[in-house]
Structure 1
Amino acid sequence: MTPIKTENYNSIKLIECPRDAMQGLHNWVPTQTKAEYINLLLKAGFDTLDFGSFVSPKAIPQMRDTREVLELLDLDNTQTKLLAIVANLRGVEDAVQHPEISYLGFPFSISETFQQRNTNSSITQSLVTVEEMLNLCHKHHKTAVVYLSMGFGNPYGDEWNIEIVEKWTDILVSKGAQILSLADTVGVSTPEKITHILPPLIKRFDRTEIGVHLHSTPQTRIEKINAAYMAGCKRFDSALKGYGGCPMAKDDLTGNIATEDVIYYLEEKKEVLQLDHVYLSKAIAFTGQIFM
């Protein structure tokens, strides 16, 4: 599997995030149940599944069985690629050993407070990890996805402005990052912020795939999706029914953008998504066995 080329991309990419949806659940989801759910998603036709993570089980106990889940996945009849989240070099080294995984995602926060809280490392230390991840991904024929966490603001009092977002985007691209996803994390984005931030980044870094990983309440999902789409974004992270949230951010989780809303919006815009709605419906029905 060769690194994915991202230059001059024109098609919409839907990134379904069962890992993000499940990681904060307190009740253990059995390995077999996780795998059954992800296998349905693999048949639904998403570009990528953010399916698991190689992180400390003490930090995210729900994801401690990612390796076992991977062994149960049916990857023979799907074009969907797998993405795994890592938080340190050990996680990178573990993840690159699995040929089934195409993408490694790293949460790089422009908030020093949240970087420490999320990965137990500073921004400076995390930049070194990103560089090492990029090197190992190249060596093992994988592609890195760097999440620009707190990309739309943060609740911790750290300095935030669009210049800081642009600065770190510039640095990460100069290090070799091909895919960046601006992550809201705690749901502080607004249509105005999205409209202000995304267009200049997409225009300036036109050889970099720039997406969004937004969190939202149900009332504001569509307006955020619309703002990102109209800004030129073609890569959308989401989770069925809007489940999920980052347990490292705060106790009162703000859910993901609901995949159903993204699909509805994009189909209204006549985008061709190449989804299998039969398996999509089966996956939606199966969420009742996980999120109770």
Structure 2
Amino acid sequence: MPKREDIILVECPRDAIQGISRFIPTEKKVKYLNMLLQSELFDWLDCGSFVSPKAVPQLVDTEEVLEQLYPSNKTKLLAIVANEQGASRAVKSENLTYLGYPFSISEVFQQRNTNASIADSFERLKGIVEMAMSHQKEMVVYISMAFGNPFGDDWSNELVLDWMGKIAALGVVEFSFADTTSEASLSQITQLFEQAILQFPALNIGAHFHSPKWSSLEKINAAYLAGCRKFDGAILGFGGCPFAEDELVGNIPTEDLLGYFEGKYEDKILTLSSEFIKIIS
């Protein structure tokens, strides 16, 4: 049976709350994130983003939040950036280990998500990687729409792998395949992870699935059996990408991940779930 120590578990409160229109007070975010850190359930915490406040007003206070988080020896912090301006702010945070960049192989979604073409996004990424390296930060590149898209844009495993190769040549070793609109079938998950791990054995390739509850465990299982050892989730499966479709598809529930990997988590997850409901209510 899969073991918890086999994987990197990434909790994504940033993804969970970014689409909530009512602004959650900074002090509530700080309290919740510190509870997540103190729980020591997670290896990484995707805790905020340095993007336009017009695009994601919920996360306008990310810098202020980061300053009030208690460092954890167990859990490393990650924040999303979408351009050089955001990256220049993010690299100043001593608490951050990782900068995450959403790179879509769908032209429509790349425009929606970062207001740039795929070609322009790659040029942006070059500058962001250089900036991150010069400040001793690590990059994580999310390959958005990695399993297809609802827009009719070109997609194939070969296209995903081609862009991975170009991005890896910049010095990036941390990747995550994002099933942004829950397009992935189990066979697609198996094939893409197996091909990517075979072609790029030196890279760390994770799974960031958006999925309805009924298919989450099947997707976790398919990715794990294909060699994936890094998984993103969100408590109660909340969230989704507000730039993808009108109807958000939630994240993989953290409870399902911990259950699959035999985590002893029940009391901690109940406490964290209750606190999460409080901050979004």
Q: Identical aligned pairs, as a percentage?
A: 47
2:63 match: 67
- Correspondence for 1:226 among 211, 215, 221: 221
CA contact (8 A) 2:45 2:78 kept: yes
1:140 match: 135
CA contact (8 A) 1:241 1:259 kept: yes
1:6 match: none
1:48 match: 44
CA contact (8 A) 1:15 1:49 kept: yes
CA contact (8 A) 1:40 1:282 kept: no
What SS does structure 2 have at the residue aligned with 1:189?
A: coil
Shifted more, 106-115 versus 129-138: the winner is: 129-138
Normalized against structure 2, the TM-score is what?
A: 0.95
Report the Cα offset of residue 42 of structure 1: 0.4
| 1:83 paired to 2:78 | yes
Q: Distance in 2 between matches of 1:43 and 1:224?
A: 28
Q: Distance in 1 between matches of 2:233 and 2:197?
A: 20
- Correspondence for 2:97 among 102, 111, 135: 102
| 1:259 paired to 2:265 | no
Deviations 1:132-170 (A, max 9, x none): 111111111110000000001001111111111111111
Report the Cα offset of residue 28 of structure 1: 1.3
Which ranges in structure 1 are unaligned for 5 or more consecutive residues?
1-9, 268-272
Map 1:119-134 to 2 at 5 A. 119-134=114-129
Report the Cα offset of residue 276 of structure 1: 6.6
Map 1:115-194 to 2 at 5 A. 115-194=110-189
Q: Distance in 1 between matches of 2:164 and 2:143?
A: 8
CA contact (8 A) 1:43 1:279 kept: no
Report the Cα offset of residue 192 of structure 1: 1.3
CA contact (8 A) 1:43 1:276 kept: no
* 1:287 alignment partner AA: F
Q: Distance in 2 between matches of 1:203 and 1:43?
A: 36
2:279 match: 290
**Aligned residue pair count:** 276
* 1:50 alignment partner AA: D
Q: Distance in 1 between matches of 2:261 and 2:58?
A: 32
What SS does structure 1 have at the residue aligned with 2:161?
A: helix
Q: Distance in 2 between matches of 1:214 and 1:290?
A: 24
Report the Cα offset of residue 196 of structure 1: 1.3
- Correspondence for 1:281 among 263, 270, 274: 270
Shifted more, 277-286 versus 225-234: the winner is: 277-286
What SS does structure 2 have at the residue aligned with 1:290?
A: helix
Report the Cα offset of residue 220 of structure 1: 0.5
What SS does structure 2 have at the residue aligned with 1:108?
A: strand
Shifted more, 281-290 versus 177-186: the winner is: 281-290
Report the Cα offset of residue 70 of structure 1: 1.1
- Correspondence for 2:109 among 85, 108, 114: 114
Shifted more, 196-205 versus 80-89: the winner is: 196-205
Report the Cα offset of residue 216 of structure 1: 0.2
Q: Distance in 2 between matches of 1:261 and 1:181?
A: 19
- Correspondence for 2:9 among 1, 10, 14: 14
Q: Distance in 2 between matches of 1:90 and 1:129?
A: 10
CA contact (8 A) 1:182 1:213 kept: yes
Q: Distance in 2 between matches of 1:133 and 1:234?
A: 26
Alpha-carbon RMSD across the aligned residues, in angstroms, is: 1.4
- Correspondence for 2:190 among 168, 177, 195: 195
Q: Distance in 2 between matches of 1:134 and 1:277?
A: 39
* 2:246 alignment partner AA: D
Which ranges in structure 2 are unaligned for 5 or more consecutive residues?
none
Report the Cα offset of residue 67 of structure 1: 1.1
CA contact (8 A) 2:258 2:265 kept: no
Q: Distance in 2 between matches of 1:65 and 1:16?
A: 19
Report the Cα offset of residue 89 of structure 1: 0.6
Change (3 A) 1:99 1:277: farther
Report the Cα offset of residue 78 of structure 1: 4.0
Q: Distance in 2 between matches of 1:222 and 1:27?
A: 31
Report the Cα offset of residue 244 of structure 1: 0.4
